[in-house]
Amino acid sequence: MKERTAQMRWEARTQGPLLGLAVAFAVAYAVPIVAPGADAWVHSACTVTEWAVWAAFAADYLVRLALAPGRWLFVRSHPLDLLAVALPLVQPLRLLRLVSTLLLVGRRARMAPQITLTTYVGGAVVGLMMFGSLAVLRVERDAPGGNIRTLGDAVWWSFTTMTTVGYGDHAPTTGLGRLLAVGLMISGIALLGVVTANIAAWFIARFERDDAEERRQTALLEALTSEVKQLRAEVARLSGTEAGASVPGQADR
């Protein structure tokens, strides 16, 4: 069995705690949007939590970089991780912290061997719908002429956008809201492609297993048929030998 590197051991140990921090980030991001009239200390606590979670993921990236056998190779093979760590430093927007945390959580979730593709896709759909709804509600709620005013409107809009149905009864009117819509559309198409490919791969694997089983049974029948033919030939040979041996004895009498 291949020995695990220090980087792999670190990732295995920190998988659970980082996903727990991601849940804390989700709560901290949602509270100020769902309850905008909450006390000032609640908003401050949520902001501190968001930055703390981002800092934890950034520290995790730096530790993995330090433990990687080849640091430059690690940077080149993890461009989204680096972008997610650096993005909130460009401009301190809550939306950028949201995007960066989603990228980091998604990256770590994909590395978890116990998380199957179905679980990951389902979690990605729920997460994108939730964060997309909250983000567009925050952007569009107070926009002049906007028609996404409640959380229910935002969830409905996210669902129709991710499934590329687009009824048009709710639509963003701001530039940032439309940018969010583009992101959800692309994400919905990508996830649909993953699901379709997974289903197709399952059918192909099933057909290949059935075909392999059929070939195995065919080879077994051919082997049995050949063995039966050999046994018949042996029986015929033995019968002919016995018949030949009995004829001279009868002639002597």
Which of these, 197, 195, 180, lies nearest to 129 by C-alpha position? 180
Amino acid at 169: D
Q: What angle do CA 52, 112, 124 make, to 5 degrees?
A: 70
pLDDT at residue 109, rounded to an integer:
54
pLDDT at residue 47, rounded to an integer:
86
Give the tokens for residue 132: 């997309």
Q: In the 8-state DSSP scheme, what is residue 166?
A: -
Which of these, 84, 122, 112, 82, lies nearest to 17 by C-alpha position? 112
Give the tokens for residue 236: 């015929």
pLDDT at residue 200, rounded to an integer:
80
Write down the pTM of the prediction. 0.57
Q: 61-100 burial, b if ≥16 CB within 10 A, otherwise e?
A: beebbebbeeeeebeeebeebeebbebbeeeeebbbbbbb
pLDDT at residue 247, rounded to an integer:
54
Stretches where the chain sits below pLDDT 50 are 1-2, 90-95, 113-114
